[in-house]
Amino acid sequence: MLDPQVDPERRKMVLTSQIIVAALFAGCLFFMLIVVLILPGKLGNWDLGLNKPMTCAGLVVALSILAARIIVPGMITTQMLRSLARRESKEPDWKDLFGVYQTTLIIKAAMLEGATFLLLIMHMLEHSPWTLALAVVFLALMLLHMPASSRVDDWIEQQSLVVREGQ
């Protein structure tokens, strides 16, 4: 395991990933604030909105994106790790594995971002508390993707073993 204080390049790479996730989160958060401020007085209306077509469509699409977010990044990660395993070198490079990690991270966070924007737009249109509540949940999930050096190291260590076993 590399020490972030000793390896400034690694620290910069993790910081870049943190900035990407923070930017995706901030965009959604600012849009949410705009939506909530544009709709003063509408939040008190607790009609669940399940009879509204756009709300129902938004909820179905958002939950579908959440389900796809569980499956799709794993498939992409597997393909990228297989590609690394086919290389001639015995030991996978940290930078290559970090590239796989960062790609997966961006895909997961971007899927949540898209679903969050969709839910907020549906909330603007039909004022359902479900769409706003689910958008808040998706924002929280996005924050859970914030990379920490220790988590990145653990993930890379695990995937390094997977790549070595695949050779």
User: Once rounded to an integer, what is the mean pLDDT over residues 58-62?
Assistant: 88
Tell which wins on pLDDT, 159 or 117: 117
Residue 112: the pLDDT is: 95
Whether residue 115 is predicted with pLDDT greater than 70 in this model: the reply is yes
Whether residue 130 is predicted with pLDDT greater than 50 in this model: the reply is yes
User: Once rounded to an integer, what is the mean pLDDT over residues 135-162?
Assistant: 91
Nearest by Cα to 130 from 28, 54, 26: 54
Residue 42: the pLDDT is: 55
Q: Which of 41-50, 53-62, 116-125, 155-164 has the lowest mean pLDDT?
A: 41-50
User: Once rounded to an integer, what is the mean pLDDT over residues 66-84?
Assistant: 90
The domain spans of the chain are 52-166
Handedness of CA 23, 108, 36, 120 (dihedral sign): positive
One DSSP character per residue, 35-97 reads HHHHSTTTTT-----TT-HHHHHHHHHHHHHHHHHHHHHHHHHHHHHHHHHTSS-SSPPHHHH
- Please report, as a single letter, which amino acid is at residue 119: L
pTM: 0.83
Whether residue 127 is predicted with pLDDT greater than 90 in this model: the reply is no
Nearest by Cα to 153 from 24, 10, 42, 29: 10
Q: Is 118 exposed, middle or buried (0-12, 13-18, 19+ CB in 10 A)?
A: buried
The tokens of 160 are what? 């390094």
Angstrom distance (rounded) from CA 55 to CA 57: 5
